[in-house]
Each structure stands twice: as structure tokens, then as C-alpha cells.
């Protein structure tokens, strides 16, 4: 690939000034590589549905459907040359010079440089473009419609759905990176970025009646008007809360230079405060910091709700020649 050496070389200058760059103090390694999965699996989606339709009184029709899909071989990226969880806490991975200079340093600060602890010596990151992720979608869709009667048409659609995937973006972004070890299935399986758990949409069209009173001029102003609108109530997109500790980095929390930390959720605790304050919507007591050895923790997410409205008024006139 054109981004790999020797076609592309990225020199590194450590602890120096730009003015002092010379061939003797610029390192040519370790380089990063971009590789593709040689199996070349094709992303595939299997879709299926079952629907029941019926006629109701008062000119209404009801449609209830189950819609689902299964996706396989979704594309993502995995760093093959990553720093394992907890390696900065191991005694054999400590730098003797750093330990002698600061023996009481925060756990992880005296770790050897990240490139010396990688599984492939001589390389920085090895990004593998692969097709290993899965996703599924399951939904109940209900549609209720009332035929136009006495100038009024009303339609209602409700969807309860769940979209889950092992790819953090749900398969919509093949540039996203997944967990590089054997725990990706357990760690990243959760709601996709486009998951919207509930959606309610109401649309309507109302034609105003013609007035019997008045003259030709007043009827020209009052007759032939229509009012239409769409009202939607939809749950928001999921997001994963995070945390940070002042003065600490990944190597102090997870023991890895490349892999970050996650929070845990206290089971049975309401993650919301039910407060009207938008800056105090989440309940801190519902979250906890994962222990550094809990490297197989699952991805937690939450979401918010929106209510978009749209209404329009226009006038329709029939013209004949």
C-alpha cells in the first residue's frame, strides 16, 4: 500500500528542536502499517418481515409488522500491534532508570516505552482493515390510517426497534476501530450509532369547509384552504459516558498505552435524575469506575428524547378552461 514504507516514511524527532534536525538524530522507525484482510469477505445483510393488515370501523386501516435483519462481515479496523491491558503494571515492564529516579511514582508512570512492549517489535501500529463485525435489527412497526372523511385525513406510525452491533459505529463507518483483543464481541456489542428505540409520527391534512354565507369576494378569501402537519416524538441517539482523572493517563488506569478506560453501570440504579436541568440529567451514583483488570467490560450507553414539529398551511384552487 502507498502509505507503507518504503513508499512513505515518517521520521520522528524526540526531545529536540526543529532547527537541530539532522540525519543523525532523526529516527526512521518504528513505522506504522496499513494492511487489508486477505480473506476479502463481502458484507452481507439478510432482511425479513411479517405483516398483518386489517380494516377497522370509522374508515380506518391498521397495519402491524415485524421487521428484522441480520448483518455479517461488516468492515472495521483493528490494531494488531496494540499495548495489552495491564502490561504497565507488571514488574518486568518497569524502566529501571525511571524507578530509581522516582520510586514513589503513580503506578504505570515508570513503565517502559510503548514501542518496546508491542507484540511486533520494530513496528508502531499495524492497522488491519477487516470484515468481522456483526449487527442485527428488530422492530415492531404499527401504522394506523383514517381515510379522508369530511375533509380530514389522519395517519399514525409507531416503531419500537433495537439495532445492535459489535462495531462501535454500527457498520456505518468503516474507519472506526474495535477492541483488538479476544473480548471485542463482549466489549463492543451494544446499541449502534443510528439506534432509535422509539419513534412516533402523526401526520394530518385538513381541508377547511366552504362557507355558505358571504359573497364571491369573501369566499375567494375563505374557501379552499388546507392545513397539514407532521408531529414526531423520537428517542435520541445512544452515547457512551466516559470519565477522566486529572493527572492520570491510560497507562495509569488500564495499564495500556493504546487502550482507554470505560465506566461501569450500577445495576438497578436509575441513570437519570429526572431533573429539568439539562446540565444535571445523569445520575453520577449510577456509574462506577471499572477495576483495571475488568478489561472485558461491556459498552454502556444512554439516550435522550426529541420532539420535532412541522406544520404548514396552503390554499388549493381548482381551475378549469
Q: How far is CA 167 from the centre of its chain?
A: 9
pLDDT digits (tens, 9 = 90+) for 187-205: 778 888 888 899 999 988 8
pLDDT digits (tens, 9 = 90+) for 84-101: 888 999 999 999 999 999
Does 222 have pLDDT greater than 80?
Answer: no
Mean pLDDT of 208-223: 69
Of 86, 82, 139, give the one whose Cα is nearest residue 111: 86
- Coil, strand, or helix at residue 52? strand
Burial of 278 (0-12, 13-18, 19+ CB in 10 A): exposed
Q: How confident is the model at residue 12, as a pLDDT?
A: 62
Does 14 have pLDDT greater than 80?
Answer: no
Of 208, 181, 160, give the one whose Cα is nearest residue 296: 181
CA max distance for the chain: 101
The listed range with the strongest mean pLDDT (128-137, 224-233, 292-301) is 128-137
Residue ranges per domain, the chain?
42-315
What is the percent of the chain where pLDDT is above 70? 74
Q: How confident is the model at residue 263, as a pLDDT?
A: 76
What contacts 183, CB < 8 A, 6 or more positions away?
295, 296
Task: Report the mean per-residue pLDDT for the chain.
Answer: 78
Distances (CA, A) of 309 to 150, 231, 232, 286, 316: 25, 5, 6, 33, 23
What's the pTM? 0.71
Does 45 have pLDDT greater than 90?
Answer: yes
Contact between 165 and 138 under an 8 Å Cβ cutoff? The reply is no
pLDDT digits (tens, 9 = 90+) for 18-30: 676 666 655 566 7
pLDDT digits (tens, 9 = 90+) for 109-121: 999 988 888 888 8
If one compares 254 and 167, the residue with the highest pLDDT of the two is 254
Q: How confident is the model at residue 317, as a pLDDT?
A: 46
Q: How confident is the model at residue 315, as a pLDDT?
A: 45
Mean pLDDT of 227-251: 82
Does 125 have pLDDT greater than 90?
Answer: no
Q: How confident is the model at residue 299, as a pLDDT?
A: 55
Identify the weakest region by mean pLDDT among 67-71, 144-148, 219-223: 219-223
Q: pLDDT confidence of 264, banded at 50, 70, 90?
A: confident
Half-sphere exposure (Cβ direction) of 74: Cα atoms closer than 13 Å: 25
Mean pLDDT of 37-60: 89
Q: How confident is the model at residue 293, as a pLDDT?
A: 41
Does 138 have pLDDT greater than 50?
Answer: yes
Q: pLDDT confidence of 52, banded at 50, 70, 90?
A: very high
Does 70 have pLDDT greater than 90?
Answer: yes
**Residue owning grid cell 506504522:** 32
Amino acid at each position: 500500500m502507498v502509505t507503507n514504507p518504503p513508499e512513505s516514511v515518517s521520521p520522528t524527532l524526540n526531545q529536540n528542536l526543529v532547527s537541530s534536525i539532522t540525519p543523525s538524530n532523526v529516527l526512521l522507525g518504528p513505522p506504522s502499517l496499513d494492511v487489508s484482510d486477505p480473506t476479502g469477505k463481502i458484507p452481507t445483510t439478510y432482511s425479513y418481515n411479517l405483516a398483518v393488515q386489517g380494516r377497522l370501523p370509522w374508515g380506518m386501516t391498521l397495519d402491524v409488522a415485524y421487521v428484522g435483519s441480520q448483518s455479517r462481515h461488516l468492515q472495521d479496523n483493528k490494531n494488531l500491534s496494540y499495548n495489552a491491558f495491564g502490561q504497565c503494571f507488571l514488574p518486568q515492564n518497569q524502566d529501571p532508570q525511571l524507578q530509581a529516579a522516582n520510586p514513589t511514582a503513580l503506578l504505570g508512570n515508570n513503565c517502559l516505552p510503548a514501542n518496546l512492549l508491542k507484540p511486533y517489535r520494530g513496528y508502531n501500529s499495524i492497522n488491519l482493515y477487516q470484515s468481522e463485525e456483526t449487527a442485527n435489527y428488530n422492530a415492531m412497526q404499527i401504522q394506523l390510517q383514517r381515510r379522508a372523511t369530511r375533509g380530514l385525513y389522519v395517519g399514525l406510525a409507531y416503531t419500537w426497534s433495537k439495532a445492535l452491533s459489535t462495531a462501535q459505529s454500527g457498520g456505518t463507518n468503516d474507519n472506526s476501530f474495535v477492541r483488538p483483543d479476544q473480548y471485542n464481541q463482549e466489549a463492543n456489542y451494544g446499541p449502534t450509532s443510528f439506534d432509535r428505540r422509539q419513534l412516533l409520527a402523526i401526520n394530518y391534512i385538513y381541508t377547511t369547509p366552504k362557507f355558505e354565507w358571504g359573497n364571491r369576494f369573501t369566499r375567494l378569501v375563505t374557501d379552499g384552504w388546507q392545513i397539514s402537519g407532521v408531529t414526531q416524538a423520537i428517542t435520541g441517539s445512544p452515547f457512551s459516558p466516559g470519565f477522566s482523572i486529572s493527572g492520570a493517563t491510560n497507562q495509569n488506569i488500564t495499564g495500556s498505552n493504546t487502550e482507554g478506560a470505560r465506566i461501569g453501570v450500577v445495576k438497578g440504579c436509575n441513570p437519570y435524575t429526572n431533573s429539568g436541568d439539562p446540565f444535571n440529567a445523569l445520575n453520577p451514583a449510577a456509574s462506577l469506575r471499572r477495576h483495571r483488570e475488568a478489561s472485558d467490560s461491556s459498552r454502556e450507553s444512554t439516550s435522550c428524547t426529541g420532539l420535532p414539529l412541522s406544520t404548514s398551511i396552503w390554499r388549493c384552487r381548482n381551475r378549469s378552461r
